[in-house]
């Protein structure tokens, strides 16, 4: 028996990094995993990995900011599987490092569109189906950047902070339908997103000195996607049934020190 046997679980941004890891782990736990990803080849690779491990996965290639395409995909999932049990709002982008003095309105809008508005859109599309079933889980991937700032990604901070507030609102709005809404805030994770201008920010001498050697991260290492995906599976499973509107921080202890 898996923790998610037969559950239909949608994961956005499932082609690499945390989304890939969550998809693989959900499939191992018996879920029918639905990958929503703008990069079709990457999504297919993850589908193949899941298939090779005797799991079930389907993919939809779309940009989560395209509401009509997203709606069509959700309708397709309901038609094929008859229900939607879990949505993991994971897809996000990292804006070019800049401050309010140097960023552009265009970059701000794109980050908010992908990292916040698409979270609303996906949730809006699945919630009516979950309400009809009187059950569902919506899990947002936020970030520690939702409540503390590195000082050069304001639109990302604003989007992730918005997710934290919206988690509370959605939990209150949807509780009567037995839909649980929670967030996970990873700290530094080693994924393709951590590569900025060709440099993996978790390997620079300054990063290693401050976060690892001097233990700003008390556990003394950056996170891997696999360190975070189990928390997402927990929130999707029956082990989590009386918790909603909450944030779980998975950061190796980073936010516990100063």
Does residue 44 touch ligand NAD according to CB under 6 A? no
Out of 50, 73, 91, 232, the only residue in the binding site for ligand NAD (CB under 6 A) is: 91
Specify the length of the chain in residues. Answer: 258
**CA–CA gap between residue 68 and residue 154 (Å, rounded):** 28
Does residue 252 touch ligand NAD according to CB under 6 A? no
Does residue 254 touch ligand NAD according to CB under 6 A? no
Determine contact, residues 45/121, Cβ cutoff 8 Å.
Answer: no
Does residue 63 touch ligand NAD according to CB under 6 A? yes
Instruction: Give SS3 for 204.
Output: coil
Q: How many residues bind ligand NAD (CB under 6 A)?
A: 27
Beta carbons within 10 angstroms of residue 201's beta carbon: 18
Does residue 194 touch ligand NAD according to CB under 6 A? yes
Beta carbons within 10 angstroms of residue 224's beta carbon: 13
Does residue 212 touch ligand NAD according to CB under 6 A? no
169 is written with which tokens?
């609102």
Cβ closest to ligand NAD, residue 67 vs residue 177? 67
Catalytic residue, from 60, 70, 156, 211: name it. 156
Does residue 167 touch ligand NAD according to CB under 6 A? no
Helix%, strand%, coil% for the chain, nearest 5: 50, 20, 35
Q: Is 211 a catalytic residue?
A: no
Query: Least distance (Å) from ligand NAD to the CB of residue 153?
Result: 10
**CA–CA gap between residue 196 and residue 160 (Å, rounded):** 19
230 is written with which tokens?
């189990």
Catalytic residues: 156
Instruction: Give residues in contact with ligand NAD (CB under 6 A).
Output: 13, 15-19, 37-39, 42, 63-65, 90-93, 114, 141, 143, 186, 188-189, 191-194
């Amino acid at each position: 028996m898996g923790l998610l046997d037969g559950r239909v679980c949608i994961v956005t941004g499932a082609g690499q990094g945390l989304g890939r890891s969550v998809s693989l782990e959900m499939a191992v736990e018996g879920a029918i995993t639905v990958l929503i990803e703008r990069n079709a080849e990457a999504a297919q690779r993850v589908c193949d990995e899941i298939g090779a491990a005797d799991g079930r996965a389907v993919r939809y290639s779309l940009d989560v900011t395209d509401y009509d395409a997203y709606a069509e995909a959700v309708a397709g999932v309901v038609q094929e599987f008859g229900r939607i049990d879990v949505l993991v709002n994971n897809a996000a982008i990292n804006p070019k490092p800049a401050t309010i003095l140097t960023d552009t309105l265009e970059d701000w809008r794109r980050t908010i569109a992908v990292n916040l508005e698409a979270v609303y859109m996906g949730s809006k599309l699945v919630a009516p189906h979950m309400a009809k079933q009187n059950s569902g889980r919506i899990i947002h991937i936020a970030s520690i950047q939702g409540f503390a700032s590195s000082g050069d990604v304001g639109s990302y901070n604003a989007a992730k902070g918005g997710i934290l507030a919206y988690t509370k609102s959605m939990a209150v709005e949807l509780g009567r339908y037995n839909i649980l809404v929670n967030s996970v805030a990873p700290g530094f994770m080693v994924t393709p997103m951590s590569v900025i201008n060709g440099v993996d920010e978790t390997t620079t001498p300054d990063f290693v000195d401050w976060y690892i050697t001097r233990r700003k991260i008390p556990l003394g290492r950056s996170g891997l996607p696999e360190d975070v995906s189990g928390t997402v599976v927990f929130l999707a499973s029956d082990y989590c049934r009386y918790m909603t509107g909450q944030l779980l921080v998975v950061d190796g202890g980073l936010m516990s020190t100063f």
